Amino acid sequence: MRLERFRFRAMGSPCVLSFWSKSRNDAAVLAEACGQEIDRLERKFSRYREDSLASRINRSAGDGQGHGQGIEVDSETASLLDFAATAFRESEGRFDPTSGVLRRVWDFKSGILPSKDALRECLKLVGWSKLEWQSPVIRLPLAGMQLDFGGFVKEYAADRLAELCRERGLRSGIIDLGGDLAVVGPHPDGQPWLIGIRDPRNPSTALARIAIDHGGLATSGDYERFMIVDGQRYSHLLDPRTGECHQTGPACVSVTAPHCLVAGITSTIAMLHTESEVEAFLTRVGLPHLLITQSGKRIGSVRVHEEHRPQPRPTPNTLRMPELRAR
């Protein structure tokens, strides 16, 4: 057995497939299948592709007079939309796939804050409760509304690839899609994979390493995109309820869960809590986690690699996973 790695870019991120395999050729065949699957998901859900389902849904947005007829979707998309609806409800609106339109007024490369009037107008198009979803038809009633799968489809893709690998007989491997991770299985000797967690104030260094031998791992932080205006830090973490940059949360949150999709949504929602609220939220959810406060303090229940023990199986949470069946 040998560890083979395949590096590529997809969904706007650097990706790595790590497989323990009998030969490079066997691993390459599996990597090719994974590449085809992630390409399928990108072609289907990317807002940057005019021919994607996501773009077709957004072009169908009505004019506020009830003219929009909506779009009928397949079972895979319906499962993802059901998941999004649950996440919106459980997060009290902190997770909202309609909030992508806020990028129209928030430009983190400009170093300029959006005007209150521009933000107020943009917020009129934000709100999961404004759209109509009754499977299999989704309808965006307001012209200009958008549904953005980008906040969770990469995590779903990681889970899909891990499941595909298991279906094809792989026993040991890990999927890394831009830091969103799904474990196929532990190393052949049963040891967990060790995942470095970046220092949010010095991202080139690892602040801790988490041991994971099953499920998924996702990390959210305020360091990915940000700007400094008048000495104040504004990160890409926008609260869909206000449209404003969330500035009172932790610096970074990592979560492990039975699936990467659940880990990703949970870490995103956690970042939109205040530092005084976030630990109680994560404890209530019941998933192993590691959070880094703005002062650099480490808090959490996840096992770091120094303990040399696999993580306990996390308690199931309230988010229902879409089925990961072959398409």
DSSP 8-class letter at 245: B
Topology annotation, domain 2-35+160-307: T-fold (3.10.520)
Q: Show me where the domains of the chain are located.
A: 2-35+160-307, 53-147
Beta bridge partners of 226: 235
The pTM assigned to this predicted structure is: 0.90
pLDDT above 50 for 221: yes
Second CATH level (architecture) for the domain 53-147 = Orthogonal Bundle (1.10)
Summarize pLDDT for 112-170 with one digit per residue, the tens.
999 999 999 999 999 999 999 999 999 999 999 999 999 999 999 999 999 999 999 99
Pairing, β 216-221 against β 180-185: antiparallel
Q: Are 157 and 176 in contact, with CB atoms under 8 Å apart?
A: no
Residue reference for tokens 């959070």? 291
Render pLDDT for 42-97 as a digit per residue (tens, 0 to 9). 999 999 999 999 999 999 998 555 455 799 999 999 999 999 999 999 999 999 99
